[in-house]
Structure 1
Protein backbone atom coordinates (compact mmCIF):
# COMPACT_ATOMS: atom_id res chain seq x y z
CA UNK A 1 0.00 0.00 0.00
CA UNK A 2 2.80 2.39 0.90
CA UNK A 3 4.54 1.76 -2.43
CA UNK A 4 1.21 2.27 -4.25
CA UNK A 5 0.65 5.62 -2.49
CA UNK A 6 4.18 6.71 -3.27
CA UNK A 7 3.69 5.81 -6.94
CA UNK A 8 0.44 7.79 -7.02
CA UNK A 9 2.13 10.79 -5.45
CA UNK A 10 4.98 10.61 -7.96
CA UNK A 11 2.49 10.38 -10.83
CA UNK A 12 0.43 13.27 -9.50
CA UNK A 13 3.55 15.38 -9.06
CA UNK A 14 4.70 14.56 -12.58
CA UNK A 15 1.24 15.30 -14.00
CA UNK A 16 1.07 18.60 -12.15
CA UNK A 17 4.51 19.56 -13.50
CA UNK A 18 3.46 18.63 -17.04
CA UNK A 19 0.20 20.55 -16.68
CA UNK A 20 2.02 23.59 -15.33
CA UNK A 21 4.50 23.44 -18.21
CA UNK A 22 1.66 23.17 -20.74
CA UNK A 23 -0.13 26.05 -19.04
CA UNK A 24 3.00 28.18 -19.10
CA UNK A 25 3.60 27.40 -22.76
CA UNK A 26 0.00 28.22 -23.61
CA UNK A 27 0.23 31.50 -21.69
CA UNK A 28 3.47 32.44 -23.45
CA UNK A 29 1.94 31.63 -26.84
CA UNK A 30 -1.09 33.74 -26.04
CA UNK A 31 1.16 36.59 -24.88
CA UNK A 32 3.16 36.37 -28.10
CA UNK A 33 -0.03 36.40 -30.18
CA UNK A 34 -1.34 39.40 -28.28
CA UNK A 35 1.98 41.20 -28.71
CA UNK A 36 2.11 40.45 -32.44
CA UNK A 37 -1.49 41.60 -32.90
CA UNK A 38 -0.78 44.75 -30.90
CA UNK A 39 2.28 45.46 -33.01
CA UNK A 40 0.29 44.79 -36.18
CA UNK A 41 -2.52 47.13 -35.10
CA UNK A 42 -0.02 49.80 -34.04
CA UNK A 43 1.82 49.47 -37.37
CA UNK A 44 -1.40 49.78 -39.35
CA UNK A 45 -2.46 52.79 -37.27
CA UNK A 46 0.89 54.52 -37.88
CA UNK A 47 0.75 53.73 -41.61
CA UNK A 48 -2.83 55.01 -41.90
CA UNK A 49 -1.92 58.18 -39.99
CA UNK A 50 1.08 58.74 -42.26
CA UNK A 51 -1.01 58.10 -45.40
CA UNK A 52 -3.74 60.45 -44.17
CA UNK A 53 -1.21 63.19 -43.40
CA UNK A 54 0.42 62.75 -46.79
CA UNK A 55 -2.99 62.82 -48.50
CA UNK A 56 -3.92 66.06 -46.73
CA UNK A 57 -0.61 67.63 -47.79
CA UNK A 58 -1.25 66.66 -51.41
CA UNK A 59 -4.86 67.87 -51.27
CA UNK A 60 -4.02 71.15 -49.54
CA UNK A 61 -3.18 73.06 -52.78
CA UNK A 62 -6.47 71.89 -54.32
CA UNK A 63 -8.36 72.98 -51.19
CA UNK A 64 -6.74 76.42 -51.41
CA UNK A 65 -7.60 76.57 -55.11
CA UNK A 66 -11.25 75.67 -54.46
CA UNK A 67 -11.66 78.04 -51.50
CA UNK A 68 -9.93 80.83 -53.41
CA UNK A 69 -12.22 80.40 -56.41
CA UNK A 70 -15.41 80.80 -54.38
CA UNK A 71 -14.07 83.58 -52.16
CA UNK A 72 -14.87 87.26 -52.60
CA UNK A 73 -11.46 88.28 -51.30
CA UNK A 74 -8.82 89.36 -53.81
CA UNK A 75 -5.79 89.85 -51.56
CA UNK A 76 -3.20 87.32 -50.47
CA UNK A 77 -2.33 86.54 -46.90
CA UNK A 78 0.33 84.48 -45.20
CA UNK A 79 -2.29 82.91 -42.94
CA UNK A 80 -3.56 79.72 -44.58
CA UNK A 81 -6.98 80.02 -42.89
CA UNK A 82 -7.41 83.28 -44.75
CA UNK A 83 -8.54 81.18 -47.73
CA UNK A 84 -11.62 79.86 -45.95
CA UNK A 85 -14.39 82.01 -47.47
CA UNK A 86 -16.71 83.89 -45.15
CA UNK A 87 -19.28 84.01 -47.93
CA UNK A 88 -19.51 81.65 -50.91
CA UNK A 89 -19.66 83.41 -54.25
CA UNK A 90 -19.51 82.09 -57.82
CA UNK A 91 -18.93 85.53 -59.29
CA UNK A 92 -15.34 84.62 -60.14
CA UNK A 93 -16.47 81.86 -62.51
CA UNK A 94 -18.79 84.29 -64.32
CA UNK A 95 -15.96 86.79 -64.69
CA UNK A 96 -13.68 84.08 -66.07
CA UNK A 97 -16.25 83.08 -68.69
CA UNK A 98 -16.69 86.72 -69.67
CA UNK A 99 -12.93 87.14 -70.06
CA UNK A 100 -11.91 87.85 -73.64
CA UNK A 101 -10.78 84.73 -75.55
CA UNK A 102 -11.56 82.37 -72.65
CA UNK A 103 -13.93 80.26 -74.79
CA UNK A 104 -11.23 80.06 -77.46
CA UNK A 105 -8.76 78.83 -74.84
CA UNK A 106 -11.10 75.99 -73.85
CA UNK A 107 -11.70 75.00 -77.49
CA UNK A 108 -7.96 75.12 -78.20
CA UNK A 109 -7.22 72.93 -75.17
CA UNK A 110 -9.80 70.37 -76.30
CA UNK A 111 -8.35 70.26 -79.83
CA UNK A 112 -4.73 70.12 -78.64
CA UNK A 113 -5.56 67.33 -76.16
CA UNK A 114 -8.11 65.10 -77.90
CA UNK A 115 -6.49 64.94 -81.35
CA UNK A 116 -3.01 63.89 -80.10
CA UNK A 117 -4.63 61.48 -77.64
CA UNK A 118 -6.58 59.69 -80.40
CA UNK A 119 -3.58 59.65 -82.73
CA UNK A 120 -1.28 58.34 -80.00
CA UNK A 121 -3.67 55.51 -79.10
CA UNK A 122 -4.03 54.47 -82.76
CA UNK A 123 -0.31 54.60 -83.56
CA UNK A 124 0.61 52.85 -80.30
CA UNK A 125 -1.83 50.02 -81.03
CA UNK A 126 -0.60 49.56 -84.62
CA UNK A 127 3.10 49.78 -83.80
CA UNK A 128 2.67 47.73 -80.64
CA UNK A 129 0.95 44.95 -82.57
CA UNK A 130 3.57 44.95 -85.34
CA UNK A 131 6.52 44.81 -82.94
CA UNK A 132 4.86 42.35 -80.55
CA UNK A 133 3.28 39.85 -82.95
CA UNK A 134 4.97 40.19 -86.33
CA UNK A 135 8.48 39.16 -87.38
CA UNK A 136 10.55 41.14 -89.88
CA UNK A 137 14.27 41.79 -90.45
CA UNK A 138 15.83 44.37 -88.13
CA UNK A 139 12.88 44.48 -85.74
CA UNK A 140 15.00 44.48 -82.59
CA UNK A 141 17.38 47.14 -83.94
CA UNK A 142 14.51 49.45 -84.92
CA UNK A 143 12.82 48.89 -81.58
CA UNK A 144 15.95 49.80 -79.60
CA UNK A 145 16.50 52.84 -81.83
CA UNK A 146 12.96 53.98 -80.98
CA UNK A 147 13.54 53.27 -77.31
CA UNK A 148 16.82 55.19 -77.27
CA UNK A 149 14.91 58.37 -78.18
CA UNK A 150 13.60 58.42 -74.60
CA UNK A 151 17.09 59.40 -73.46
CA UNK A 152 16.92 62.69 -75.40
CA UNK A 153 15.49 65.47 -73.16
CA UNK A 154 12.51 67.21 -74.74
CA UNK A 155 13.97 70.62 -73.83
CA UNK A 156 16.97 69.86 -76.06
CA UNK A 157 14.64 69.67 -79.06
CA UNK A 158 13.04 73.09 -78.58
CA UNK A 159 15.55 75.14 -80.60
CA UNK A 160 15.84 72.64 -83.52
CA UNK A 161 12.05 72.36 -83.68
CA UNK A 162 11.62 76.12 -83.57
CA UNK A 163 14.10 76.63 -86.41
CA UNK A 164 12.51 73.87 -88.48
CA UNK A 165 8.95 75.08 -87.86
CA UNK A 166 9.88 78.69 -88.67
CA UNK A 167 11.27 77.61 -92.04
CA UNK A 168 8.08 75.78 -92.98
CA UNK A 169 5.82 78.50 -91.52
CA UNK A 170 4.39 76.35 -88.72
CA UNK A 171 5.00 78.87 -85.94
CA UNK A 172 1.71 80.02 -84.38
CA UNK A 173 -0.22 77.19 -86.05
CA UNK A 174 -1.88 74.05 -84.75
CA UNK A 175 0.43 71.94 -86.92
CA UNK A 176 3.36 72.66 -84.60
CA UNK A 177 1.32 71.42 -81.66
CA UNK A 178 -0.30 68.38 -83.33
CA UNK A 179 2.05 66.76 -85.87
CA UNK A 180 4.95 66.02 -83.45
CA UNK A 181 2.52 64.33 -81.04
CA UNK A 182 0.77 61.85 -83.31
CA UNK A 183 2.78 59.15 -81.54
CA UNK A 184 4.56 58.72 -78.22
CA UNK A 185 7.51 56.44 -77.49
CA UNK A 186 6.45 55.45 -73.98
CA UNK A 187 2.89 54.70 -75.15
CA UNK A 188 4.26 52.55 -77.97
CA UNK A 189 6.55 50.68 -75.55
CA UNK A 190 3.69 50.19 -73.08
CA UNK A 191 1.34 48.81 -75.74
CA UNK A 192 4.04 46.52 -77.16
CA UNK A 193 4.62 45.00 -73.73
CA UNK A 194 0.87 44.68 -73.19
CA UNK A 195 0.29 42.88 -76.54
CA UNK A 196 3.34 40.70 -76.04
CA UNK A 197 1.64 39.20 -72.98
CA UNK A 198 -1.36 38.07 -75.09
CA UNK A 199 -0.91 34.35 -75.95
CA UNK A 200 -0.35 33.64 -79.64
CA UNK A 201 -2.80 30.74 -79.33
CA UNK A 202 -5.72 33.19 -79.14
CA UNK A 203 -4.80 34.77 -82.46
CA UNK A 204 -4.12 31.39 -84.06
CA UNK A 205 -7.50 30.05 -82.90
CA UNK A 206 -9.26 33.07 -84.42
CA UNK A 207 -7.48 32.54 -87.76
CA UNK A 208 -8.41 28.82 -87.73
CA UNK A 209 -12.05 29.82 -87.12
CA UNK A 210 -11.98 31.86 -90.31
CA UNK A 211 -11.10 35.37 -89.14
CA UNK A 212 -8.80 37.37 -91.37
CA UNK A 213 -5.83 39.34 -90.10
CA UNK A 214 -7.79 42.59 -89.88
CA UNK A 215 -10.79 40.94 -88.20
CA UNK A 216 -8.53 39.19 -85.70
CA UNK A 217 -6.98 42.47 -84.64
CA UNK A 218 -10.30 44.34 -84.62
CA UNK A 219 -12.46 41.72 -82.85
CA UNK A 220 -9.97 39.79 -80.74
CA UNK A 221 -6.84 41.80 -79.97
CA UNK A 222 -8.35 45.27 -79.50
CA UNK A 223 -11.05 44.20 -76.98
CA UNK A 224 -8.35 42.50 -74.90
CA UNK A 225 -6.26 45.70 -75.04
CA UNK A 226 -9.06 48.05 -73.88
CA UNK A 227 -7.53 48.61 -70.41
CA UNK A 228 -4.14 49.39 -71.93
CA UNK A 229 -5.67 51.75 -74.49
CA UNK A 230 -7.64 53.51 -71.74
CA UNK A 231 -4.44 53.94 -69.72
CA UNK A 232 -2.66 55.52 -72.67
CA UNK A 233 -5.66 57.73 -73.46
CA UNK A 234 -5.87 58.97 -69.86
CA UNK A 235 -2.15 59.72 -69.55
CA UNK A 236 -1.92 61.42 -72.95
CA UNK A 237 -5.02 63.55 -72.41
CA UNK A 238 -3.83 64.75 -69.01
CA UNK A 239 -0.32 65.42 -70.35
CA UNK A 240 -1.52 67.46 -73.35
CA UNK A 241 -4.23 69.28 -71.41
CA UNK A 242 -1.66 70.46 -68.85
CA UNK A 243 0.99 71.27 -71.49
CA UNK A 244 2.47 74.72 -70.98
CA UNK A 245 6.05 75.04 -72.25
CA UNK A 246 5.63 74.09 -75.92
CA UNK A 247 2.41 76.11 -76.46
CA UNK A 248 4.13 79.09 -74.86
CA UNK A 249 7.07 78.78 -77.28
CA UNK A 250 5.27 77.97 -80.53
CA UNK A 251 2.03 79.97 -80.18
CA UNK A 252 2.01 83.76 -80.16
CA UNK A 253 -1.59 84.84 -80.77
CA UNK A 254 -3.68 84.97 -77.61
CA UNK A 255 -6.66 83.51 -79.47
CA UNK A 256 -4.69 80.32 -80.13
CA UNK A 257 -3.51 79.82 -76.55
CA UNK A 258 -4.61 76.72 -74.64
CA UNK A 259 -6.16 77.22 -71.23
CA UNK A 260 -2.88 76.79 -69.33
CA UNK A 261 -1.07 79.55 -71.22
CA UNK A 262 -4.18 81.74 -71.12
CA UNK A 263 -4.38 81.49 -67.34
CA UNK A 264 -0.71 82.43 -67.09
CA UNK A 265 -1.41 85.55 -69.16
CA UNK A 266 -4.28 86.41 -66.78
CA UNK A 267 -1.90 86.15 -63.81
CA UNK A 268 0.49 88.60 -65.43
CA UNK A 269 -2.35 91.07 -66.10
CA UNK A 270 -4.64 90.83 -63.07
CA UNK A 271 -3.74 90.96 -59.34
CA UNK A 272 -7.10 89.30 -58.46
CA UNK A 273 -5.79 85.90 -57.45
CA UNK A 274 -9.23 84.41 -56.77
CA UNK A 275 -10.07 85.19 -60.40
CA UNK A 276 -7.11 83.04 -61.46
CA UNK A 277 -8.12 80.33 -58.98
CA UNK A 278 -11.54 80.07 -60.63
CA UNK A 279 -9.83 79.52 -63.97
CA UNK A 280 -7.53 76.93 -62.40
CA UNK A 281 -10.55 75.01 -61.08
CA UNK A 282 -12.06 74.98 -64.56
CA UNK A 283 -8.72 73.80 -65.98
CA UNK A 284 -8.57 71.00 -63.40
CA UNK A 285 -12.13 69.68 -63.87
CA UNK A 286 -11.72 68.06 -67.36
CA UNK A 287 -8.71 65.99 -66.33
CA UNK A 288 -10.48 64.98 -63.12
CA UNK A 289 -13.61 63.90 -65.03
CA UNK A 290 -11.58 61.96 -67.61
CA UNK A 291 -9.79 60.07 -64.85
CA UNK A 292 -13.07 59.31 -63.05
CA UNK A 293 -14.67 58.01 -66.27
CA UNK A 294 -11.67 55.85 -67.23
CA UNK A 295 -10.57 54.97 -63.72
CA UNK A 296 -11.67 51.32 -63.91
CA UNK A 297 -9.87 50.67 -67.20
CA UNK A 298 -6.86 52.76 -66.18
CA UNK A 299 -6.24 50.82 -62.95
CA UNK A 300 -6.80 47.46 -64.68
CA UNK A 301 -4.45 48.43 -67.49
CA UNK A 302 -1.65 49.62 -65.24
CA UNK A 303 -1.86 46.68 -62.81
CA UNK A 304 -2.18 44.02 -65.52
CA UNK A 305 0.74 45.51 -67.43
CA UNK A 306 2.84 45.53 -64.28
CA UNK A 307 2.01 41.87 -63.57
CA UNK A 308 2.44 40.70 -67.15
CA UNK A 309 5.53 42.79 -67.83
Structure 2
Protein backbone atom coordinates (compact mmCIF):
# COMPACT_ATOMS: atom_id res chain seq x y z
CA UNK A 1 0.00 0.00 0.00
CA UNK A 2 2.81 2.39 0.91
CA UNK A 3 4.70 1.49 -2.28
CA UNK A 4 1.58 2.21 -4.35
CA UNK A 5 1.12 5.62 -2.72
CA UNK A 6 4.75 6.49 -3.42
CA UNK A 7 4.35 5.44 -7.05
CA UNK A 8 1.31 7.69 -7.51
CA UNK A 9 3.12 10.55 -5.74
CA UNK A 10 6.13 10.20 -8.05
CA UNK A 11 3.85 10.03 -11.10
CA UNK A 12 1.98 13.16 -10.01
CA UNK A 13 5.25 15.00 -9.32
CA UNK A 14 6.53 13.99 -12.77
CA UNK A 15 3.38 15.33 -14.44
CA UNK A 16 3.70 18.62 -12.59
CA UNK A 17 7.38 18.83 -13.58
CA UNK A 18 6.53 18.22 -17.24
CA UNK A 19 3.83 20.88 -17.07
CA UNK A 20 6.42 23.32 -15.72
CA UNK A 21 9.04 22.50 -18.36
CA UNK A 22 6.74 22.45 -21.41
CA UNK A 23 6.38 26.27 -21.71
CA UNK A 24 10.16 26.65 -21.66
CA UNK A 25 10.50 23.95 -24.34
CA UNK A 26 7.90 25.75 -26.46
CA UNK A 27 9.83 29.04 -26.17
CA UNK A 28 13.05 27.25 -27.08
CA UNK A 29 11.52 25.62 -30.19
CA UNK A 30 9.87 28.86 -31.33
CA UNK A 31 13.11 30.78 -30.87
CA UNK A 32 15.04 28.26 -32.97
CA UNK A 33 12.41 27.92 -35.70
CA UNK A 34 13.26 29.40 -39.13
CA UNK A 35 11.35 32.58 -39.94
CA UNK A 36 8.37 32.09 -42.21
CA UNK A 37 8.22 28.30 -41.82
CA UNK A 38 5.45 26.35 -39.99
CA UNK A 39 6.17 25.75 -36.34
CA UNK A 40 4.39 25.32 -33.01
CA UNK A 41 1.54 25.07 -32.18
CA UNK A 42 0.61 23.73 -35.63
CA UNK A 43 3.57 21.46 -36.36
CA UNK A 44 7.11 20.66 -35.26
CA UNK A 45 9.69 22.61 -37.32
CA UNK A 46 11.68 20.61 -39.86
CA UNK A 47 14.95 22.25 -38.84
CA UNK A 48 16.31 24.52 -36.13
CA UNK A 49 18.45 27.60 -36.58
CA UNK A 50 20.20 30.29 -34.53
CA UNK A 51 19.25 33.08 -36.95
CA UNK A 52 16.61 34.53 -34.62
CA UNK A 53 19.03 34.68 -31.69
CA UNK A 54 21.68 36.36 -33.84
CA UNK A 55 19.15 38.89 -35.14
CA UNK A 56 18.04 39.66 -31.59
CA UNK A 57 21.59 40.16 -30.33
CA UNK A 58 22.34 42.45 -33.27
CA UNK A 59 19.31 44.64 -32.56
CA UNK A 60 20.23 48.26 -31.89
CA UNK A 61 19.58 48.46 -28.14
CA UNK A 62 19.28 44.84 -27.02
CA UNK A 63 22.75 44.73 -25.43
CA UNK A 64 22.08 48.08 -23.75
CA UNK A 65 18.84 46.72 -22.30
CA UNK A 66 20.73 43.65 -21.09
CA UNK A 67 23.32 45.83 -19.36
CA UNK A 68 20.60 47.93 -17.72
CA UNK A 69 18.85 44.81 -16.38
CA UNK A 70 22.13 43.37 -15.12
CA UNK A 71 23.13 46.62 -13.41
CA UNK A 72 19.67 46.98 -11.87
CA UNK A 73 19.68 43.40 -10.54
CA UNK A 74 23.35 43.15 -9.50
CA UNK A 75 23.53 46.43 -7.55
CA UNK A 76 20.21 45.65 -5.87
CA UNK A 77 21.43 42.20 -4.80
CA UNK A 78 24.64 43.54 -3.23
CA UNK A 79 23.01 46.46 -1.40
CA UNK A 80 19.91 44.57 -0.25
CA UNK A 81 21.90 41.60 1.08
CA UNK A 82 24.31 43.87 2.96
CA UNK A 83 21.64 46.09 4.51
CA UNK A 84 19.31 43.16 5.25
CA UNK A 85 22.12 41.27 6.99
CA UNK A 86 23.00 44.28 9.13
CA UNK A 87 19.37 45.02 9.99
CA UNK A 88 18.65 41.35 10.66
CA UNK A 89 21.65 41.15 13.00
CA UNK A 90 20.50 44.25 14.89
CA UNK A 91 16.90 43.04 15.24
CA UNK A 92 17.96 39.51 16.20
CA UNK A 93 20.84 40.01 18.63
CA UNK A 94 20.81 43.61 19.83
CA UNK A 95 18.70 45.13 22.58
CA UNK A 96 17.50 48.71 22.13
CA UNK A 97 14.31 50.63 22.98
CA UNK A 98 11.46 50.07 20.55
CA UNK A 99 13.14 47.15 18.79
CA UNK A 100 9.99 45.06 18.40
CA UNK A 101 7.80 48.05 17.49
CA UNK A 102 10.26 49.18 14.80
CA UNK A 103 10.62 45.67 13.42
CA UNK A 104 6.89 44.95 13.16
CA UNK A 105 6.19 48.41 11.77
CA UNK A 106 8.81 47.77 9.11
CA UNK A 107 7.35 44.33 8.43
CA UNK A 108 3.85 45.79 8.10
CA UNK A 109 4.94 47.43 4.84
CA UNK A 110 4.62 43.98 3.24
CA UNK A 111 0.85 44.45 3.38
CA UNK A 112 1.02 47.61 1.24
CA UNK A 113 0.74 46.76 -2.47
CA UNK A 114 3.50 48.08 -4.71
CA UNK A 115 0.90 49.67 -6.98
CA UNK A 116 -0.33 51.82 -4.08
CA UNK A 117 3.09 53.45 -3.61
CA UNK A 118 4.02 53.66 -7.29
CA UNK A 119 2.68 57.17 -7.97
CA UNK A 120 3.98 58.79 -4.74
CA UNK A 121 7.37 57.15 -5.29
CA UNK A 122 7.49 58.39 -8.89
CA UNK A 123 6.57 61.93 -7.84
CA UNK A 124 9.29 61.93 -5.17
CA UNK A 125 11.95 60.64 -7.56
CA UNK A 126 10.77 63.09 -10.22
CA UNK A 127 11.17 66.05 -7.85
CA UNK A 128 14.74 64.86 -7.17
CA UNK A 129 15.47 64.70 -10.93
CA UNK A 130 15.89 60.94 -10.78
CA UNK A 131 13.61 59.97 -13.67
CA UNK A 132 15.45 58.20 -16.50
CA UNK A 133 18.58 57.74 -14.35
CA UNK A 134 20.23 54.68 -12.88
CA UNK A 135 19.97 55.86 -9.30
CA UNK A 136 16.30 56.67 -9.76
CA UNK A 137 15.75 53.16 -11.09
CA UNK A 138 17.71 51.36 -8.36
CA UNK A 139 17.52 53.30 -5.09
CA UNK A 140 13.70 53.26 -4.49
CA UNK A 141 13.67 49.45 -4.66
CA UNK A 142 16.42 48.83 -2.11
CA UNK A 143 14.21 48.86 1.00
CA UNK A 144 13.23 45.20 1.24
CA UNK A 145 11.38 44.28 4.42
CA UNK A 146 11.00 40.65 3.36
CA UNK A 147 14.78 40.28 3.14
CA UNK A 148 15.19 41.83 6.60
CA UNK A 149 12.60 39.45 8.02
CA UNK A 150 14.30 36.36 6.58
CA UNK A 151 17.73 37.46 7.80
CA UNK A 152 16.41 38.24 11.27
CA UNK A 153 14.75 34.84 11.57
CA UNK A 154 17.93 33.05 10.49
CA UNK A 155 20.35 35.07 12.65
CA UNK A 156 18.07 34.76 15.69
CA UNK A 157 18.73 31.00 15.75
CA UNK A 158 22.52 31.41 15.83
CA UNK A 159 23.97 30.53 19.26
CA UNK A 160 24.43 33.51 21.55
CA UNK A 161 27.62 31.91 22.88
CA UNK A 162 29.40 32.75 19.61
CA UNK A 163 28.72 36.45 20.05
CA UNK A 164 29.59 36.35 23.74
CA UNK A 165 32.91 34.69 22.91
CA UNK A 166 33.65 37.32 20.28
CA UNK A 167 32.91 40.07 22.78
CA UNK A 168 35.25 38.44 25.34
CA UNK A 169 37.98 38.29 22.68
CA UNK A 170 37.60 42.03 22.16
CA UNK A 171 35.92 41.90 18.75
CA UNK A 172 34.00 45.01 17.83
CA UNK A 173 30.62 45.11 16.14
CA UNK A 174 31.99 45.31 12.60
CA UNK A 175 34.45 42.48 13.20
CA UNK A 176 31.72 40.32 14.74
CA UNK A 177 29.46 41.03 11.78
CA UNK A 178 32.16 40.31 9.20
CA UNK A 179 33.72 37.21 10.81
CA UNK A 180 30.71 35.56 12.46
CA UNK A 181 27.42 36.76 11.00
CA UNK A 182 28.31 36.83 7.32
CA UNK A 183 30.08 33.41 7.16
CA UNK A 184 27.32 31.66 9.14
CA UNK A 185 24.54 33.21 7.07
CA UNK A 186 26.10 32.35 3.71
CA UNK A 187 23.40 29.78 2.80
CA UNK A 188 20.50 32.15 3.44
CA UNK A 189 22.38 35.01 1.76
CA UNK A 190 22.82 32.89 -1.38
CA UNK A 191 19.16 31.86 -1.35
CA UNK A 192 17.97 35.41 -0.78
CA UNK A 193 20.39 36.62 -3.46
CA UNK A 194 18.71 34.37 -6.03
CA UNK A 195 15.26 35.69 -5.11
CA UNK A 196 16.36 39.34 -5.16
CA UNK A 197 18.10 38.87 -8.50
CA UNK A 198 15.00 37.27 -10.03
CA UNK A 199 12.72 39.97 -8.59
CA UNK A 200 14.74 42.76 -10.17
CA UNK A 201 15.75 40.97 -13.37
CA UNK A 202 12.07 40.24 -14.15
CA UNK A 203 10.72 43.52 -12.78
CA UNK A 204 8.55 45.35 -15.28
CA UNK A 205 6.32 47.99 -13.69
CA UNK A 206 8.92 50.23 -11.99
CA UNK A 207 11.43 50.17 -14.90
CA UNK A 208 8.52 50.93 -17.26
CA UNK A 209 7.66 54.04 -15.25
CA UNK A 210 11.25 55.23 -14.81
CA UNK A 211 12.57 54.63 -18.37
CA UNK A 212 11.66 57.65 -20.46
CA UNK A 213 14.17 56.94 -23.25
CA UNK A 214 15.03 53.79 -25.16
CA UNK A 215 18.56 53.69 -23.73
CA UNK A 216 17.32 53.38 -20.13
CA UNK A 217 14.94 50.48 -20.71
CA UNK A 218 15.53 47.08 -19.15
CA UNK A 219 15.09 43.81 -21.00
CA UNK A 220 11.53 43.26 -19.85
CA UNK A 221 10.45 46.73 -20.93
CA UNK A 222 12.47 46.62 -24.14
CA UNK A 223 11.00 43.30 -25.26
CA UNK A 224 7.49 44.58 -24.60
CA UNK A 225 8.13 47.54 -26.92
CA UNK A 226 9.34 45.21 -29.66
CA UNK A 227 5.93 43.60 -29.63
CA UNK A 228 4.47 46.83 -31.03
CA UNK A 229 7.11 47.23 -33.77
CA UNK A 230 6.11 44.31 -36.03
CA UNK A 231 9.11 42.25 -34.94
CA UNK A 232 8.76 38.56 -35.97
CA UNK A 233 7.26 36.36 -33.29
CA UNK A 234 10.24 33.97 -33.41
CA UNK A 235 12.62 36.86 -32.70
CA UNK A 236 10.57 37.87 -29.67
CA UNK A 237 10.82 34.30 -28.40
CA UNK A 238 14.57 34.43 -28.95
CA UNK A 239 14.76 37.55 -26.81
CA UNK A 240 12.67 35.87 -24.10
CA UNK A 241 14.96 32.84 -24.23
CA UNK A 242 18.05 35.00 -23.77
CA UNK A 243 16.52 36.67 -20.70
CA UNK A 244 16.06 33.27 -19.04
CA UNK A 245 19.72 32.23 -19.39
CA UNK A 246 21.16 34.47 -16.59
CA UNK A 247 18.44 33.25 -14.22
CA UNK A 248 19.35 29.62 -14.92
CA UNK A 249 23.07 30.33 -14.49
CA UNK A 250 22.51 32.05 -11.14
CA UNK A 251 20.24 29.26 -9.91
CA UNK A 252 22.53 26.36 -10.86
CA UNK A 253 25.57 28.18 -9.47
CA UNK A 254 23.95 28.72 -6.06
CA UNK A 255 21.52 25.82 -5.74
CA UNK A 256 23.75 23.96 -3.27
CA UNK A 257 23.40 26.91 -0.91
CA UNK A 258 19.61 26.65 -1.15
CA UNK A 259 19.79 23.01 -0.07
CA UNK A 260 22.17 23.96 2.74
CA UNK A 261 19.85 26.70 4.01
CA UNK A 262 16.85 24.36 3.97
CA UNK A 263 18.80 21.64 5.78
CA UNK A 264 20.16 23.98 8.44
CA UNK A 265 16.74 25.52 9.00
CA UNK A 266 15.25 22.07 9.40
CA UNK A 267 17.87 21.09 11.95
CA UNK A 268 17.28 24.28 13.95
CA UNK A 269 13.54 23.82 13.84
TM over 0.5: yes
Aligned residue in 1 for 2:41: 80
Residue 45, structure 1, aligned to residue 7, structure 2: yes
Partner of 2:119: 159
The answer to whether the Cα contact below 8 Å between 1:74 and 1:273 also exists between their aligned partners in 2 is no
**Which has a greater percent of helix?**
1
Alignment partner, residue 261 of structure 2: 301
Q: CA–CA distance in 1 between the matches of 2:182 and 2:248?
A: 26
Aligned to 1:127: 87
Change (3 A) 1:213 1:168: closer
State the match for 1:221 in structure 2. Answer: 181
Residue in 2 that maps onto 1:13: none
CA contact (8 A) 1:75 1:273 kept: no
Q: Are 2:223 and 1:263 equivalent residues in the alignment?
A: yes
Query: For structure 1, which segment, 210-219 or 98-107, has the greater mean C-alpha deviation from structure 2 after superposition?
Result: 210-219
Q: TM-score, normalised by structure 2?
A: 0.94
Q: CA deviation at 1:132?
A: 0.7
**Which of 126, 147, 151 is the matching residue for 1:187?**
147
Give unmatched runs, 5+ long, in structure 2.
Answer: none
Whichever of the two has the greater Rg, that structure is 1
> 2:110 corresponds to which residue?
150
Q: Map of 1:89-128 to 2, 5 A cutoff?
A: 89-128=49-88
Is the aligned partner of 1:233 residue 2:190? Answer: no
Residue in structure 2 matched with residue 36 of structure 1 by the alignment: none
Deviation at 1:75, TM superposition (A): 6.9
Distance 2:224 2:263 in 1: 36
Count of residues in Structure 1 that have an aligned counterpart in Structure 2: 269
Deviation at 1:307? 5.5
TM-score (norm 1): 0.82
- Structure 1: gaps (5+ residues): 1-38
